[in-house]
Chains A and B, each alone.
Chain A
Amino acid sequence: MCLAIPGKIIEIKKNQQATADFNGIEKEINISLVEVKKGDYVIVHAGFAIEKIGKADAESIKSLIK
C-alpha cells in the first residue's frame, strides 16, 4: 500500500493540481502536500505528491524501477 513512484512536474494547474511525467506517461497529481514548481521532482503515492526529491535521486530510483 505504501508503494510510491517518482515523477517530474511538467505543469502546475489550478486547485492544487499538476501534471507529472512518469517515465513518459503523463498523469494528473495533487500537490497540496508539497511546495513545488515546474521542473521539480516528487515522489507520488495514491495520487498525491508526498515529498519533493532531488533530480539525481529521482533518476536513481527510476533506473532501479526499470
Chain B
Amino acid sequence: MSSESENILKKIWQEAVQIGRPLRFMELCGTHSQTIAANGLKSLMPRNIKLIAGPGCPVCVTDQSDVDVMVGLALGGIPIAVYGDAVNVPGNIMSLEQARQKGADVNIVYSVEEAMRLKNSNPGLVFFGLGFETTAPMTAWAVKNGLVVYSAHKIFPPAMAVLMANKKIKVNGFINPGHVSAIIGTEIYKKFKIPQVIAGFEGLDILRAINLLLEQILSGKAEVSNEYTRVVRKNGNAKAQKLIEDVFEIGDAKWRGLGLIKKSGLKIRKKYQKQDAEFIYKDLIKKIKAEIKSKPSACQCGRVLQGMIEPRECPLFGKICTPDNPQGACMVSVEGSCNIEYRYGKK
C-alpha cells in the first residue's frame, strides 16, 4: 500500500471514531464495486463504515422485458449486435447467448463502430443499445451514422432520486460514478441533499472519496465533491450531451429490480425513426411483448441492486446461481454485486 493510501486510511479511521455512529456509503458505479472488491477495501474499513453497492451496473439494471424483445427479434431471424457484458443476461425466456445457441445471429461487439462494420455484411443488423450516459453518446453517434438501434439506454440521476425516496434504504453518502459524470458534469447532482463524491476508479480514488464523505459529515455539509478532477469537469462533455439531446428524448424506463422509473430512459426521437428498431419492428415487438410471461424466480437481484440485502442473503447465491449458471443479471456481469461477491468474497 502506498504511503498516501496509508495516510488517508488513518484519517478515515480517526474521522470514523469521531463520528461514532454507523454510516452506510453506497457506490453507484459497478466499476467502483469491482475496485472495492479487488483491493479488499471493505476489510480495511472501521467497523462503523459499511460500503454497499447500488444500481450502478448498467447491464444488471437492464429489464427482462428488453432482453425478451431482443431475444424475440433474434429468434425471428434479425441479426443482433450487443456488448459482450450483456449477452448472458437472462430474460424471462432466455438470454441472447442461448438464442445464439439456437441458431440466431447474435454478434458480440466492443464498440458501436464494430457494429457499423458488421452492418455492411448484415444489412438488417439491430444494435442493442444499453448503458447510462457513458455509452449513450456513442449510440447517438451511430444512429446519426445509420445504425439501427433498440434503445434500452437509461439516465442515472432519476435512479438516485428513487433510492433517496425509499425509506427502507439507509444511505449516508453516495460515491457517484466517474465516467457518467465525465459526460453529465457535477452540477446536476446538487439537487440531491446528501453528501456525494464523484470518484475515479483506483483503490486510492475510493479511499479519497470515503475521506471526503466523512469530512462533509463532520462539518455538517451535504454537497457534491469531485475527487476525479483529472477527467470530470463541472459542466461535463458538451459535445456528448448535444449528441444525446439530438438523437434521444426522455421517456419512462423499466429498471430490473427498481421497476418503472419515470423520465429515466432514452428513446430515439421521431426524426431518427428509420434507425429505431422499436419503430421498424413495432408489430413484431407488440407480438413478442404480448407473449411475455414473467417467470417467477426467487432471484433477489432487485433488492441487491438497491443495497437492501447483501448477495449472500439471497437463497440462490452460490447454490443454483453462479457465474456459470446465472439466475439473475447481478451474477452475469463482472460488475454485478453477486458476481463480484462470488469471485472475491470469503469462500
Cβ contact of A30, chosen from B29, B59, B113, cutoff 8 A:
B113
Whether a CB of chain A sits under 8 angstroms from the CB of B223 is: no
Number of A-B contacts (CB under 8 A): 89
Please name the residue on chain B nearest to A3 by beta carbon: B31
Q: A12 an interface residue at 8 Å Cβ cutoff?
A: no
Q: Is the CB of B177 within 8 A of A2?
A: yes
Give Cα distance in the complex from A3 to B243, angstroms: 21
A47 touches B110 (CB 8 A): yes
* Nearest opposing residue in chain B for A57, CB measure: B230
- Number of A residues with CB within 8 Å of any CB on chain B: 22
| Inter-chain contacts of B183 with A (CB < 8 A) | 50
Given contacts A43-B182, A48-B137, A53-B231, whether A32 and B239 have CB atoms under 8 Å apart is yes
Neighbouring A residues of B243 by C-beta, 8 Å: 32-33
Q: Are the C-beta atoms of A45 and B134 separated by less than 8 Å?
A: yes
The complex places the Cα of A57 from the Cα of B29 at a distance, in Å, of 21
Q: Does B173 contact A (CB under 8 A)?
A: no
Report yes or no: B182 in contact with A51, Cβ–Cβ below 8 A: yes
Q: Is B272 engaged at the interface, CB distance under 8 Å to the other chain?
A: no
Given the known interface contacts A33-B239, A33-B243, A48-B138, the answer about A2 and B233 at a Cβ–Cβ threshold of 8 Å is no
Given A50-B183, A54-B230, are A1 and B237 neighbors across the interface (CB < 8 Å)? no
**B114 close to A47 (CB less than 8 A):** yes
Q: Find chain A residues with CB under 8 A from B179 CB.
A: 2, 4, 43, 45, 50
From B111, B114, B178, A2 is in contact (CB under 8 Å) with B178
Residues of B within 8 A of A33 (CB): 137-138, 141, 237, 239-240, 243
**Does B339 sit at the interface, judged by CB under 8 A?**
no
Interface size on B, residues (CB 8 A): 39
Return chain A residues, CB-CB under 8 Å to B180: 2
Q: Flag A1-38 by CB within 8 Å of B: 1 or 0 each.
A: 11110000000000000000000000000101111000
| Interface residue? B195 (CB, 8 A) | no
**Chain B residues within 8 Å of A54, by CB:** 230
Tell whether A61 pairs with B113 under 8 Å between CB atoms, given A1-B83, A43-B182: no
Given contacts A33-B239, A47-B114, contact A1 B233 (CB under 8 A): no
Tell me how far the C-beta of B338 lies from the nearest C-beta in chain A, rounded to whole angstroms: 16
Q: Are B134 and A2 in contact (CB under 8 A)?
A: yes
A46–B112 contact, CB under 8 A?
yes
Task: Pick from B111, B141, B335: contact of A1, CB below 8 A.
Answer: B335
Among A3, A50, A57, A60: residue with most chain B CB under 10 A: A50
Is B138 a contact of A51 with CB atoms below 8 Å?
no
> Is B57 an interface residue when CB atoms closer than 8 A count as contact?
yes
Most central of B110, B112, B180, B231 by chain A CB within 10 Å: B231
Contacts of B113 in A (CB 8 A): 30, 47
Between-chain CB contacts (< 8 Å), 18 pairs: A1-B58, A1-B85, A1-B333, A2-B30, A2-B179, A2-B201, A30-B138, A32-B243, A33-B240, A47-B111, A47-B112, A48-B141, A53-B230, A53-B231, A54-B230, A57-B230, A57-B231, A60-B230
